[in-house]
Amino acid sequence: MTEIPEHLLKRSQARKGGGDAAAAAAAPATTPAVAASAAPAVAAAKAEVVPAGPPPPKPDIPVVAAYKARKKIPVWAMITLSILPLWLFMYVLALKPIAAKASGPLGEGLKVYSNCGSCHGAGGEGIGSAYAFTNGSVIATFPHIEDQLRWVKLGSAEYVSAGVQIPGDPNREGGPHIAGASGGVMPAAGKGLGLSDLEILEVVCHERYDLGGAEQGTEEFELWCSPEAPAYLALETGEATFDDVHTVIADKGIIEIGSVPVAGTTAE
């Protein structure tokens, strides 16, 4: 609302009440004065009026009005919702199967040994014609792990038919073990029992280091049977098999395992 300055109001009232004559008489005298005085007065009035009251706010457009009138999400719900992705992440983590090879060759080998214990005994103590592994016996037969890997993979029948008599150390303390001499048959863990090269390595590590009593931390252990052993990892990733692990890891002096019976090697 624009205020009308006081003196202008008064003058307009006076005109209405004073009649035409007074107005006519006053007019010439007052007009220049009015013109002179009214202009700054109006300007002053304007200057006064503008800051006096802020303009009425424009009504919101419908979208904004709807936004302002919306139902707000309660704080507890916002907190709950914001935690949801974290919860989902933990849920997925919990669902993921534990890495299969977390326990390394020895832990895995213990599981694979369920294929062997019925003949060799749960603790590798030996039953009947199936030799014991304990008290260093299996290490004496196979000073080099490669010869044992080959033997376990191929089994006794292949050695006998190939005419390879001694799968391990010919100078074995207490006499060499001769293929077929025990009177029993050692099944081929590869073709016969269907174990992979990796599983055969795992069970052989278990036989040597858990049952046979070989000392861990040796060069052989670090190359084949520790969880970070390069030969074990090469087999695990499929980079190598028994046929080529000696060339895949070329600088470690690995004896060729291969896929046919070969006479075993001496301790040195």
Minimum Å distance from CB 132 to ligand HEC? 8
Is residue 245 a contact point for ligand HEC (CB under 6 A)? no
Q: Tokens 């990733």 identify what position?
A: 237
Minimum Å distance from CB 124 to ligand HEC? 9
Contact 157, 164 (CB under 8 A): no
Minimum Å distance from CB 177 to ligand HEC? 4
Among candidates 193, 182, 189, 187, which has minimal Cα distance to 128? Answer: 182
* Token output for 261: 């019976």
Minimum Å distance from CB 187 to ligand HEC? 5
Q: Which of 30, 182, 216, 241 binds ligand HEC (CB under 6 A)?
A: 182
Q: How many other C-beta atoms lie within 10 A of the C-beta of residue 43?
A: 10
Is residue 181 a contact point for ligand HEC (CB under 6 A)? yes
Q: Which of 137, 150, 245, 249 binds ligand HEC (CB under 6 A)?
A: 137
Is residue 187 a contact point for ligand HEC (CB under 6 A)? yes
**CA distance linking residue 177 with residue 264, whole number of Å:** 10
DSSP secondary structure letters along 65-125: HHHHHSPPPPHHHHHHHHHHHHHHHHHHHHHSPP-TTTTHHHHHHHHHGGGTHHHH-TTS-
Q: Which of 106, 138, 164, 257 binds ligand HEC (CB under 6 A)?
A: 138
Minimum Å distance from CB 148 to ligand HEC? 5
Minimum Å distance from CB 239 to ligand HEC? 23
Of the candidate spans 58-66, 178-186, 223-231, 248-256, the one that interacts with ligand HEC by CB under 6 A turns out to be: 178-186
Please, which of residues 76-115 interact with ligand HEC by CB under 6 A?
115
Contact 206, 221 (CB under 8 A): no
Using N-to-C axis directions, what is the helix angle for 104-112 and 197-205, rounded to 10°? 100
- Interface positions with ligand HEC (CB under 6 A): 115-116, 118-120, 129-131, 137-138, 141, 148, 152, 156, 177, 179-182, 184-187, 189, 193, 203, 207
